[in-house]
Amino acid sequence: MSFRSGSTREHETSDQSTGRSASPPVPESSETEAEGLIFYHMDLYGSKDRFDIFPEELSGQGDRSRGDTRRESALSSEKFQRSQEARYDLEREVAELAKMYGLDEDREKELELLGGHLEMVESRWPPAHTEKQQGLPGEASLDEDQSKAIAEDETESHVWSREGLSSSVMSDEWNSQAVSEEEEVANVFCSTCKMPIRAFDKLFGEHKDHEVAQLPSAMESEKEEIHKNMCKLEEQIAQMENFASHLEEIFITVEENFGRQEQNFEVHYNDAVQVLAQKYEEQLEALGEEKRQKLEALYGQLVDCGKHLDACKELTDATQELYLENDKASFMKVKSFNWLEEFLKKEVDLKLSTLPDFEERVIDFSEVEQLMNSINTIPAPCAPVINPQAPNAATGTSLRVCWGLFSDDTVECYQLCYKPVSNERRNGEQAEHTLKVKETYCTIANLLPNTQYEFWVSALNASGISPPSERAVYVTAPSPPTIKSKKIRSCENAALVCWESRDINPVDSYMVELSKLTDEENGNNITESIVGIPNCEVLIHLQPMQSYRICVRALNLGGSSERSEPVLIHTTGTYFCLNEDTAHPLLAILDDGFTIACDELENPECDLPVYDNSFTRCIGILGSLIPFPGKHYWEVEAEEDTEYRIGVAFENTPRHGYLGANNSSWCMRHIITPSRHKYEFLHSGMTPDIRITIPPRRIGILLDYENCRLSFFNAEIAQHLYTFTLHFQHYVHPCFALETPGILQIHTGIAIPRWTALP
């Protein structure tokens, strides 16, 4: 016992240092026992105070285990001390348990019951120890005492802990016994008597003819035996602990179940009693009524009887008077004889109008019967509570709906109903769908995107169906938007991306995800997200000379849509598109979207469609440039003999005028005079006089908001042609016009050439 150490680890090391010679099994078992005890209490009663008991001992015992002084006398005193400690522990334990039980008197009975049961189980193993105790007599008293002490200690503590009974008498007993035995030293083991004896006894005492063994070797074998038994004990302890916790669970369950059933009974019997009381009232009332009617009838009859009696008496009197009349004539005149005769002719009704006994009534007990029958069946559940939509519980085509049950009702399954919410079509009632679900959640698929659905749920069991829950409206996530890839405009530092929603219903917002593409990666990692975009358009700031993959998601309450088809954006140069709405009717845009052509200047049929925004005079078109400061460069390819006007214009430049002829456009014009190619750089109809010896076939146009310049170049030979210096009040757009039949090819996405930096 004195070898108990603070922790298993510590114990192991001390075990190794001392070797397995003397008595390692003892500390091991006591260690386990201690742990087992703590564990048991913790588990069952959750009292953390139990820890306090052992550390106090450990501090002292650590010293002892370190010292190798296993003198028996020391041991005996230690043992005594230990036994007292153990007692103290047990007493505290008992007190505590008693206190705990005292707190909950209602449970007392159950606990007693439980305790009793446990005791029964436990009683399986203490006898084994008794046997062992008997097998360890005489000279092995030390070890026997130790093991006995452990066994008893264990037994008692278990019993007490479960039973809450104090059996300190028992521990007192063995304490005194141990002390007395310790006083005489035994050195030989008598195999016959199975006890240690003094050598003196072997020679002269009662063991004279018995077989004996040396005490150490006997002790070895006995210790092994003890160790085995200790292991068994450990197993049993573990088993018991499991069983105890299991019982605890059962205990709780029983309490719950019975509580519920009590409630159930109360409700049902109350109902039945109420029904019976009601029946009783009804019956009583009916009976009273019948009685009243009968009495009334009898009374009526009695009154009639009286009247009849009076009439008879009157007649008798009248007849008597007549009888006494002496005047014959007057006597005979009186017709009252006839009158009397008539009266007598009437029969007197002497039948009872009603019977004194009451009617047989059939009492209907079927309702009560039903009530009584239903007592033993479970009640129909209460209405479940449907949860509001959780974030990210929706996709474009599915919804995850959750609900719960407030009561402890037994539910076999739930019936989930839903239908789309529609404000418009009242007449064509939307089809309801019903599902049976075991769980308290369900994922419904095959729904329409960005659509509201109404859900309600009922709980079912054998007794019936609950009322439906409140209706909850869930909404599916939107469909992924479609990026208008042909409408994307970008430059070195930004991109303007627009898209269209594929949903009829409006969405809350959009989210743009962009990933920078590098050579190694394939761009799946999102480097940036822009959220909360209210419109179908966003200007994204980017880094020059990179490639980006851009996706859009639509968001509503239900969540976000899948990603749109991605688009790639290269921030090499400026990309723009042509604004077809502005195109003159005679101007054609070829399939590539960047080649404009004019076949004839006059149209024989003058009924070409003219849009509000299109050029009417100048056969021109505007581009849609990203509204972003910085530099923008593009090129226009033209045949040498093509006459054109190219440059920039405000978005609202007059559609009925010529480009460059007003103060809202700046352009380079190429015309062919009989003598030469003529180049004009027009703004407000004015041009400098400039001659260019080589007709440029590829014109570079640099729009530089930062340096307030618009420059034209012969891109093929990097020749600067002309620069407008101007302060742009607004953003401008590229403009293109043909003056004679021909073709202009527009090139975008060109990195700004270095030679454009200076004229």
Binding site for other proteins (CB under 8 A): 676, 688-694, 714, 717-722, 754-755, 757-759
CB of 643 to other proteins, least distance (A): 18
Query: Considering the complex, what minimum distance in angstroms separates the CB of residue 710 from other proteins?
Result: 15
In the complex with other proteins, the residue whose CB is nearer, 719 or 745, is: 719
Alpha carbon 612 to chain centroid, angstroms: 56
Minimum Å distance from CB 699 to other proteins? 13
DSSP 8-state class, residue 60: H
Alpha helices in 123-214 (DSSP H): 126-135, 141-163, 168-182, 199-204
CB of 706 to other proteins, least distance (A): 16
The residues with which 648 forms a beta bridge, in sequence order, are 666, 734
Residue number, 693 or 729, with CB nearest to other proteins: 693
Q: Which is nearer to other proteins, 83 or 711 (CB)?
A: 711
Least distance from other proteins to the Cβ atom of residue 755, Å: 6
Tell me the C-alpha distance between 174 and 151, whole Å: 12
Q: Measured from the CB atom, is 465 or 692 closer to other proteins? A: 692
- Shortest distance in whole angstroms from residue 554 CB to other proteins: 49
Give SS3 for 399.
strand
Work out how close the CB of 668 gets to other proteins at its nearest, in angstroms, rounded to a whole number: 12
Distance, CA of 445 to CA of 398 (rounded, Å): 4
For residues 538 and 258, what is the distance between their CA atoms, to the nearest angstrom? Answer: 65
C-beta closer to other proteins: residue 417 or 692: 692
- Closest separation in Å from C-beta 450 to other proteins: 56
Q: Which is nearer to other proteins, 565 or 640 (by Cβ)?
A: 640
Identify which of residues 327 and 689 has a Cβ nearer to other proteins in the complex: 689
What whole-number distance in Å separates Cα of residue 631 and Cα of residue 382? 70
Q: Are 186 and 215 in contact (CB under 8 A)?
A: yes
Whether the Cβ atoms of residue 168 and residue 174 lie closer than 8 Å to each other: no
Question: Could you tell me the smallest distance in angstroms from the CB atom of residue 754 to other proteins?
Answer: 7
Token pair 């062919």: residue: 672
Whether residue 561 contacts residue 555, with contact meaning beta carbons closer than 8 Å, is answered with: yes
- CB of 111 closer than 8 Å to CB of 163: no
Shortest Cβ 672–other proteins spacing (Å): 13
Secondary structure of 606-620 in HEC code, one letter for each residue: CCCCCCCCCCCCCEE
Per DSSP, the residues of 79-128 read HHHHHHHHHHHHHHHHHHHHHHHHH-GGGHHHHHHHHHHHHHHHTTSHHH
- Smallest gap, in angstroms, from Cβ of residue 661 to other proteins? 19
Nearer to other proteins, 9 or 754 (CB): 754
Select 505 or 714, whichever has its Cβ closest to other proteins. 714
Cα(424)–Cα(451) distance, integer angstroms: 13
> In this structure, are residues 701 and 647 in contact, taking their beta carbons and an 8 Å threshold?
yes
Asked if residue 92 lies in contact with residue 53, where contact means CB atoms within 8 angstroms, the answer is yes
- Quote the CA–CA distance of 356 and 548 in Å, as a whole number: 107
Closest contact distance (angstroms) between CB of 671 and other proteins is: 16
Interacting residues of 30 by C-beta distance below 8 A, sequence separation 6+ = 1, 3, 4, 150
Q: Rounded CA gap, 623 and 737, in Å? A: 11
- Nearer residue to other proteins within complex by CB, 664 or 756: 756
Indicate if the alpha-carbon torsion angle 620, 624, 630, 632 is positive or negative: negative
Nearer to other proteins, 366 or 675 (CB): 675
Bridge partner list, 495: 490, 540
Kindly tell me which of 361 and 676 has the beta carbon lying closer to other proteins: 676
CA–CA–CA angle 120, 126, 96 (5° rounding): 70
Per the CB < 8 A criterion, the answer to whether 686 and 711 are in contact is no
Cα 266 to Cα 143: distance, rounded to the nearest angstrom: 61
Cβ of residue 704: shortest distance to other proteins, in angstroms? 14
Whose Cβ is closer to other proteins: residue 101's or residue 722's? Answer: 722
Q: Measured from the CB atom, is 657 or 753 closer to other proteins?
A: 753
* Minimal distance, residue 682 CB to other proteins, in Å: 15
Tokens representing 190 are 């008598």
Q: How many CB atoms lie within 10 A of CB 556?
A: 22
